[in-house]
Amino acid sequence: MSYYRFEACRVSGDGNAIFPDEIIIDDEQEVVIHRKPKIIGSKETKIRFGAIASVSCDKHILFADIYIETRGGREIVARGFTRDDAVKIVELLSF
């Protein structure tokens, strides 16, 4: 059973100072969760591993953005992760 949680850096901009994006990878349930906290609650998007079409990252000077595209054509964008975390996320989700 593996459970990975990655949180965007608060200094990366893109609204992460107060409400950083999170990526949670749950190998037991075979889902990836993108969580975007808000003032009250949060917005969560769950994607089953089988529905993932592609995963990529866009590396910047200090930080990186994660792009997860589903087989249905939806795209999840999570911004402001460390470059190392972004590489690990792509590695874990690339089957």
Kindly report the CATH number assigned to the domain that includes residue 62: 2.30.29.30
pLDDT band at 15 (very low <50, low <70, confident <90, very high): low
Distances (CA, A) of 7 to 37, 50, 51, 74, 78: 11, 23, 23, 22, 10
pLDDT band at 38 (very low <50, low <70, confident <90, very high): confident
pLDDT of amino acid 14: 66
The pTM score is 0.89
Q: Domain containing 64: what range?
A: 3-93
The distance from CA 47 to its chain's CA centroid, rounded to whole angstroms, is 11
Name the domain count of the chain: 1
Query: In which region does residue 11 sit, left (phi positive, over 0), alpha (psi from -120 to 50) or beta (all else)?
Result: alpha
pLDDT of amino acid 77: 93
Calculate mean pLDDT across residues 66-86: 94
